[in-house]
Amino acid sequence: MPVRDPYVREPRTGVGWGDGRLQAAIVAGGVAGALGRLALDRAFAWDGRGWPWPTFVANVAGTLLLGHLVTRLQERLPPSTYRRPLLGTGLCGALTTFSTFQVELIGLARDGEVLLAGAYAGATIGAGFLGVYLATALTRRVTV
């Protein structure tokens, strides 16, 4: 059974893989998130120079969505076993990426674009943090 740590954490299985439906929910969300990120990659056609727009947009959009979803699921809707794994762990987790963000920073720095790398790191983290904060605040304010 998934263990729901009430506030901060994602639901965790602890021991074992969890039940089949939980896994299916996570995989379904993950497939959708990965395809969404790939579609953004293709749409922007970033050539490795300048501001990495596809990753930036995916990461900021994912934090806004996660802040909204988790607040709504935890504080607005009746408990549900599969929505958070599907939408939080799966969709938002896979739509956003840490590894590409870090490797892009290393790539920019290697190209001598240290200032751009610093601005990109600061903007991504700033917008991501603010995204969770704002989405949470707005979701709490709206009475559903």
Partner 1 sequence: MSLLGWIGVAVLGGAGTLLRFRLDGVVQQRAGGSFPLGTLTVNLLGSFCLGLLVGAGVGDTLLVVLGTGFLGSFTTFSTWMFETERSAEEGDGALAVLNLLGPLGCGLAAAGLGWALGASL
Give residues in contact with partner 1 (CB under 8 A).
Answer: 7-10, 12-15, 17-18, 23, 26-31, 33-35, 37-38, 41-42, 59, 62-63, 65-67, 70, 85, 88-90, 92-103, 105-107, 110, 121, 124-125, 128-129, 131-133, 136
Residue 38 or 77 having the CB closest to partner 1: 38
Q: For tokens 């917008």, what's the residue?
A: 127
Closest separation in Å from C-beta 108 to partner 1: 11
SS3 content of the chain, % helix, strand, coil (to 5): 70, 0, 30
Burial-class residue 47 by CB neighbours within 10 Å (0-12, 13-18, 19+).
Answer: exposed
Q: What DSSP state is assigned to residue 113?
A: -
Residue 9 or 79 having the CB closest to partner 1: 9
Closest separation in Å from C-beta 4 to partner 1: 12
> At 117, which helix (H) or strand (E)?
helix 114-141
CB 80 within 8 A of CB 110: no
Residue 5 or 77 having the CB closest to partner 1: 5
Closest separation in Å from C-beta 97 to partner 1: 4
Closest separation in Å from C-beta 63 to partner 1: 5
Helix (H, G, I), strand (E, B) or coil at 98: coil
